[in-house]
Structure 1
Amino acid sequence: MNWISEWALPKIKTLFGAPREVPENLWHKCPACEQMIFHRDLERNLHVCTHCGHHMRVGARQRLDYTLDEGWQRIELPKAPQDPLRFRDQRRYVERLREAQAKVGQEDAVVVAHGAIEGNRVVAAAFEFSFLGGSMGAGVGEALVTAARLAVLQDAPLIVFTASGGARMQEGAISLMQMPRTVIATRMVKEAGLPFIVVLCDPTTGGVTASFAMLGDIQIAEPGAMIGFAGARVIEQTVREKLPEGFQRAEYLLEHGILDMVVPRPEMRATLARLIGLLRLPERVAPPPPMDEVAEPVPALAAPEGPAVPA
């Protein structure tokens, strides 16, 4: 058998050439229907399954690429204190932060950008779920306040794409304080007369849902997105009842009035452009003038003369 390995196999390899290296990740498996999708078809369909329509999770910058016109610019955010409590569980919190920053390529779980959607100027903030589950710490709160101030400064609508597991417990009460802080940021936008639109993506839970994510002038969600505060199992154990089918899913919330619309990802860009065009009309209808400025009052008509009507 020695001559086969030493002489025959090298001759065969020389005859047919060296084996070609096949790139990885050419095919992706849908987590819903388990069908295989070619990577180019998946990218062309904005990471929505071509078989069942399942919306896969995408990153923050990828979501901004799908939504904003070409040429959008990322905003540099103020530095937030890292590991203010010197938290440690199985690992130090600062080590988890550094690992997430190196993996994702950004400082924290939110990317803020300004650009346009079909020519309509906007300021957008997008959560990155792969950065510690998109949890909201001091850095995320600072990012949303910066986005609100920029929207007021540029007189542009603010659009936030949420994908978060909630507050970042490694920062304790500092993380919880970002809930009222982000609510105040949304009030800045609304008091300036600017639209505040929230797009709820899968998943949006915890302190993000309990704060600014439910305060949009228009609430939009992607199909099948999980939206809620606590987990379904925790709610079942609390109320001691079986939850209905599809509880905490976008379609269920739409039927019960929590959301304004559920929009597929390929239609999101056009839908946002249409909403901004409706909310930001270039010319508003002037209110009617006060009654004292309309005209002189018309005198009352005299009653026609005739015989008196007996009492």
Structure 2
Amino acid sequence: MLKDLFRKQKKYATIPTEHAKKDIPEGIMQKCPRCGTILITKELEKNLKVCKSCQYHFSMSAPDRIQSTVDEGRFFEYDADLISMDPLNFPNYVDKVKLDIEKTQMNEAVMTGEGTIGGYPAVIGVMDSRFRMGSMGSVVGEKIARAAIRATKKKYPFILFSASGGARMQEGVLSLMQMAKTSAALERMHREKVLFVSVLTNPTTGGVSASFSSLGDINIAEPQALIGFAGRRVIEQTVRQKLPEDFQTAEFLLKHGQLDEVVSRGEMREMLTRILDLHSGGRESHE
């Protein structure tokens, strides 16, 4: 009996069966990339995809962004039928666009339309990093320019959420031309004294950061958003200097005067309502 008490028990690893694996829903948990906290996906979505432990802002899709910002049932989409072509016959580009359309249920990397925020009408654009990393091709530039033109004609403020890796390489110089086209449309808005609010989210880089996203009458960003043109390594090699740790973050840009405010996602709708209220002459005149 004593031998049985002190006998080493063999350790066995339990391998879940295929049936057990299927019983566990995929995507039920997510790990915060900043603090490592394991988060329940449903709770994360209720918190607008912001980590409760460290306030890290996860990427947000265009439909989710619109739902959290615009008054319920008060959004009407523009130009949903526009789809990118392949002007340069770039290898596999058409197939990749089709895959992104299936994955996102969107035809391009930006969704534009009009709606109300806190009861105030506005033209709204939201870029989606799930579609070709939010890169700006001809259709993205066209949709943003058209939205700006509509805002000018209707005298509605234009609110644009940026999330992009920059110009779309598969469309070459045609994608770079969108920088000029969108900037020209915004200049027309400026001449007509129509408000443009630019909201920069993580990431806003390349040709997008160098064009329309930096041209707001009011420039806002989410906390810790990566904002810049070229990468850190390229800049350090060019200037031959070590850059600050917080370089190209929203907080760094705010400190150096490129942003007007850094606003957390949970407070963004309230902030935009206050801005629209201020520029409408107050709620009394609006009503």
Give me the TM-score of the superposition, normalised by structure 2.
0.88
Match of 1:93 in 2: 93
> How much does 1:24 deviate?
2.3
Query: For each residue in 1:57-102, what CA deviation from the matched residue of structure 2 results, as whole angstroms up to 9, or x when unmatched?
Result: 11111111111111112223463550011112xxx21111111111
Query: Whose radius of gyration is greater, 1 or 2?
Result: 1
| Paired letter, 1:224 | Q
| Paired letter, 1:200 | L
> How much does 1:39 deviate?
2.0
**Equivalent pair of 1:222/1:250 in contact (CA under 8 Å):** yes
Match of 1:141 in 2: 141
Give 1:57's match in structure 2, choosing from 56, 59, 64. 59
Distance 1:40 1:105 in 2: 21
Distance 1:240 1:145 in 2: 38
**Equivalent pair of 1:80/1:138 in contact (CA under 8 Å):** no
The share of aligned pairs that are identical, in percent, is: 46
Partner SS state of residue 23, structure 2: coil
Give 2:85's match in structure 1, choosing from 79, 82, 87. 82
Distance 2:269 2:120 in 1: 11
Match of 2:132 in 1: 132
Matched, 1:31 2:33: yes
| Paired letter, 1:86 | N
1:120–1:137 Cα change, 3 Å: same
| Paired letter, 2:23 | E
Query: For each residue in 1:146-196, what CA deviation from the matched residue of structure 2 results, as whole angstroms up to 9, or x when unmatched?
Result: 111221233210000000000011111111100000001111222222110
| Paired letter, 1:203 | P
Match of 2:190 in 1: 190
Give 1:45's match in structure 2, choosing from 44, 47, 54. 47
Structure-to-structure mapping, 1:1-311, within 5 angstroms: 21-71=23-73, 72-77=75-80, 79=82, 82-88=85-91, 92-281=92-281
Partner SS state of residue 177, structure 1: helix
Distance 2:261 2:141 in 1: 26
**Equivalent pair of 1:77/1:143 in contact (CA under 8 Å):** no
Distance 2:82 2:111 in 1: 13
**Equivalent pair of 1:115/1:123 in contact (CA under 8 Å):** yes
> How much does 1:282 deviate?
5.7
Partner SS state of residue 159, structure 1: strand
**Equivalent pair of 2:79/2:143 in contact (CA under 8 Å):** no
Match of 2:5 in 1: none
**Equivalent pair of 1:80/1:142 in contact (CA under 8 Å):** no
Distance 1:246 1:186 in 2: 30
Give me the TM-score of the superposition, normalised by structure 1.
0.81
Match of 1:291 in 2: none
Distance 1:140 1:87 in 2: 18
Match of 1:14 in 2: none
Partner SS state of residue 125, structure 1: strand
| Paired letter, 1:79 | L
Distance 2:69 2:241 in 1: 40
Query: For each residue in 1:229-279, what CA deviation from the matched residue of structure 2 results, as whole angstroms up to 9, or x when unmatched?
Result: 000011011111100111000001111111000000000000001011112
Partner SS state of residue 200, structure 1: strand
1:179–1:85 Cα change, 3 Å: same
**Equivalent pair of 1:152/1:189 in contact (CA under 8 Å):** yes
Deviates more, 1:116-125 or 1:150-159: 150-159
Unaligned runs of 5+ in 1: 1-17, 284-311
Distance 1:100 1:178 in 2: 21
CA RMSD of aligned residues (A): 1.6
Distance 2:189 2:116 in 1: 17
> How much does 1:105 deviate?
1.1
**Equivalent pair of 2:77/2:111 in contact (CA under 8 Å):** yes
Partner SS state of residue 207, structure 1: helix
